[in-house]
Amino acid sequence: MSNIQGKVVIITGASSGIGEATAKELASKGAKLVLAARREDRLKKLQEEIQKNGGQAIYKVTDVTSYEQMEELADYALKEFGKIDVLVNNAGVMPLSPVYQKKINEWDTMIDVNIKGVLYGIAAVLPSKRERKEGHIINVSSIAGHLVFPASSVYSGTKFAVRAITEGLRKEEFINNIRTTIISPGAVATELIEAISDLELKAKIVEESKVAIDPASIARAIAFAIEQPSDVAINEMIIRPTIQEL
C-alpha cells in the first residue's frame, strides 16, 4: 500500500499548474485532499474530476495572504478529515521586473503571497502537527531560490526566503518528528508567466520557457517526498527540464 493512501493533504494554489497536477497525482494514490486557492470555479471543477476518478477532495476558497483564512482552512481540514498530514505551500506569483521600474504593488504581492502566505500556512498547521508529533510541510521555492538573474531580484528574494524559512523550520521541528521539503522547479509549463506586466520581458520569458516541462513532473517529485517512510525526509529537490541551462 502506498504511504500516501489515506493521508490528508492541504494544497494551496490548487486551481492551476503545479498545485492542480499535484492534487491529481496524490488523489490517484489515495490521499484525501483539501484544495485551496481564490478561483472557486477551478477548485470545484478539479474536485469533481478527482471524485469522478474515485478520489477524495474537498475545497475551500482561500487567499493565502490572509492569516485568518489560512487558519480557517486548517480548521476546515481538521473538521472534515480529523487530521492534517501534509501541507503543500504551493501558491505563488512571479511578476518579474527590474528594480528600477519600481513596480511596488507587484513587489508587495510577491512578498505577501510567496513569503507571508508560506509562513501563514506553516503557522496554521503547526500546532496540530506538534501535538501529534507527526507531519510534513512542503514548500515550493524555485530555481530562482538558488540563482538570481536580471528582473528576478524581488521574486528570487521571496524564493530564497522560502528556502531559509523551510530550513529553519526543519532545525526547529525535526525533534517533533515533522518533515520538511523544499521543492525547487525549473521552467514548468503553467500560467505563472502571465503576470509579467512588462511585455518585452514577458516575450523573452515566454521564449525561454519553450523548454518548460509538464507540471505533472513536479507533482511526481512531491509524491515521492510524501511516500517515503516517516523516518526518511527528502529535504530538498531541484527539478529542471533536462535542456534548461539556468
Strand order across the beta sheet in which 56-61 lies: 56-61, 32-37, 8-12, 86-89, 135-140, 178-185, 236-239
Residue written as grid cell 490521499:
31
CB of 187 to ligand NDP, least distance (A): 5
* 125 belongs to the binding site for ligand NDP (CB under 6 A): no
Considering beta carbons, is residue 175 or 243 the nearer one to ligand NDP? 243
CB of 204 to ligand NDP, least distance (A): 14
* 95 belongs to the binding site for ligand NDP (CB under 6 A): no
Type of residue found at 16: S
Considering beta carbons, is residue 66 or 128 the nearer one to ligand NDP? 66
- Cβ burial of 6 (10 Å; 0-12, 13-18, 19+) is middle
Residue written as grid cell 531580484:
153
Considering beta carbons, is residue 133 or 210 the nearer one to ligand NDP? 210
Q: Name the one range near ligand NDP by CB under 6 A: 27-35, 63-71, 127-135, 197-205.
A: 63-71
Chain center to CA of 80: 22
Query: Beta-strand (E) ranges in the chain?
Result: 8-12, 32-37, 56-61, 86-89, 135-140, 178-185, 236-239
Considering beta carbons, is residue 134 or 214 the nearer one to ligand NDP? 214
* 106 belongs to the binding site for ligand NDP (CB under 6 A): no
* 92 belongs to the binding site for ligand NDP (CB under 6 A): yes
What is the signed CA dihedral for 140, 143, 146, 152, rounded to 10 degrees?
-100
Sole binder of ligand NDP in the list 34, 58, 188, 196 (CB under 6 A): 188
Considering beta carbons, is residue 37 or 84 the nearer one to ligand NDP? 37
H-helix or E-strand containing 48? helix 40-52
Alpha-carbon distance of 185 to 187, in angstroms, equals 7
Catalytic positions are 155
CB of 175 to ligand NDP, least distance (A): 28
Binding site for ligand NDP (CB under 6 A): 12-13, 15-19, 37-39, 42, 62-65, 90-94, 113, 140, 142, 185, 187-188, 190-192, 215
